[in-house]
Amino acid sequence: MDQIRKWRPFVGPFDPCPPIVIKAYVVPPNQFIPFQPPNWPQFSPAEALRRGTLWPALYSPYESRMLTGGREKGE
Amino acid sequence: MSAEKKPDEAYYALLTELQQLDFVLVELTLYLDTHPYDMQAVQQFNQFAQRRRQVAQVFESRYGPLMQFGHSFSRYPWDWADSPWPWQV
């Protein structure tokens, strides 16, 4: 499932700044897992430290969107 | 004050391993808080806790104490104040 959701906010005609046409937010996988089942596959300790979780099913990349200035491509 | 020790490659390798083991322990702790009857996870937790202790012991015997106030043994002479300090590595 794609973890990034997008929506189009209202753009007023008198916006002094160039409007952000598409806004995006992350919905991490834990939102859809009410109770974690036992014996899930795990990352290795090194991988877990780097990714910030021990379980691949809970991994959320949370990539930076700073480079696009908060804007999504394909506006 | 004794001479400044320069951390070698093994120093960073051991610290990295400690960090990785600690992170797994944090994750398993949080998991076990909600799954106290998961026997396999408890065993894994204890294995990692033991491995963490071994790695910490090796590290401390080579590079000095990680903790103070009796949670780590000291070598002679007392070297708690020697660099490198945590924020220098």
**For residue B77, what are the contacts with CB-CB under 8 A and spacing of at least 6?**
B2
The answer to ipTM > 0.90 is no
Q: Domain span at residue A1?
A: 1-10+19-30+39-75
Judged by CB atoms closer than 8 Å, whether chains meet at B24 and A39 is answered as: no
Q: How confident is the model at residue B38 (pLDDT cuts 50, 70, 90)?
A: very high
Judged by CB atoms closer than 8 Å, whether chains meet at A46 and B38 is answered as: no
Give the Cα separation of A42 and A55 in Å (integer).
Answer: 5
Distance from CA of A66 to the nearest CA of B (A): 28
Provide the residue-wise pLDDT of chain A in tens; the chain has 75 residues. 578 899 999 999 998 999 989 888 889 999 999 999 999 999 999 999 999 999 999 999 877 766 655 555 444
Residue B12 in contact with partner chain A when CB distance is under 8 A: no
Judged by CB atoms closer than 8 Å, whether chains meet at B19 and A54 is answered as: no
Side-chain-facing half-sphere of B85: CA atoms under 13 Å: 2
Determine whether A63 is exposed, middle or buried from the number of CB atoms within 10 Å of its CB (0-12, 13-18, 19+).
exposed
Residue B21 in contact with partner chain A when CB distance is under 8 A: yes
Distance from CA of B80 to the nearest CA of A (A): 28
Task: Write the DSSP string, A13-36.
Answer: TT-SS-----EEEE--GGGG-SSP
Closest C-alpha among B89, B22, B85, B12 to residue B53: B22
- What is residue A74's predicted lDDT score, i.e. its pLDDT? 46
Total of domains in chain A: 1
Judged by CB atoms closer than 8 Å, whether chains meet at B40 and A39 is answered as: yes
Judged by CB atoms closer than 8 Å, whether chains meet at A53 and B35 is answered as: no
**Counts of helices then strands in chain A (DSSP H, E):** 1, 2
Domain ranges of chain B: 9-81
- What is residue B1's predicted lDDT score, i.e. its pLDDT? 46
